[in-house]
Copies of this chain bind each other. A is one copy, B any other.
Amino acid sequence: MTDLFAPLVDDPAYRKIAILIEQRIVARTLRTGDALPSETDLARQFGVNRSTIREAIRELEIHGLLGRERGEKRLRVTRPEPQRVSSGVSRALALHDVTFMELWEAMMAIEPAAAQYAASRRTAAQLRGLTRASTRFSEGTGDTAAAVAAVVDFFTAVAEASGNRVLALAQSPLNLLLEPALSAIIDRVPQARSRIEAAQSKIIDAIKLNKSEQARTWMEKHIRDFKRGYELDLPTIRELEGH
């Protein structure tokens, strides 16, 4: 049943080196904050050319495992910033032409849960963040882009307040996809803005009072609202952008 032979693969040196260094980081032999040896030194240690080392560390840098403080020259071990990885997920989803319904269903799964946990765990600072995002939406002028950004920021703030980094990281890629989709419809649906405003207000109230179930319920309503205008056709996010 299973193949007798596996395809012959021979990773280039820069890949092997990247993997070796990555293992050290994941195993915490190299710990967050540690400075990496210089490229020249690494080249010596691995017995390869500096160009090869550079290609290897490029990979780790992109993964967010290595980075430098602003204006610093030496690389150090860092933790991958959530934003960096989620932007990669967003791009992947966009390139796969996911439909708005797919996005919507995922939001429907994730956001209410985030709201629920936010209600029981939010800190005072996080609550302020929520209020700020909501205010920015309701006080915004007609500017569509700004309104959409405020809606997205509200979701981000809820996810952060959930105190759950897995949920937050699952939620984050949705934002970048929601933005173009929402821009296309927020001005098409009458009352969209007033409904968003009302829902956000209800959600914040529930989170403020630690009412988990109410927070979840209102978030569900909030997201259901987004589905309007999509009932009939199932455009890809890309098409919404006008391509």
Contact = CB atoms under 8 A, between A and B. Distances in A.
Contacts of A73: none
A123 interface: no
A150 B9 CA distance: 27
A166 B91 contact: no
Contacts of A184: none
B165 A96 contact: yes
Most chain B C-beta atoms within 10 Å of own C-beta, residue among A89, A94, A110, A112: A89
A20 interface: no
A92 interface: yes
Interface of A: 7, 9, 14, 25-28, 32, 51, 54-55, 58-59, 62-65, 70-71, 79-80, 82, 85-86, 88-89, 91-96, 98, 102-103, 105-106, 108-110, 112-114, 117, 164-167, 169-170, 173-174, 177, 243
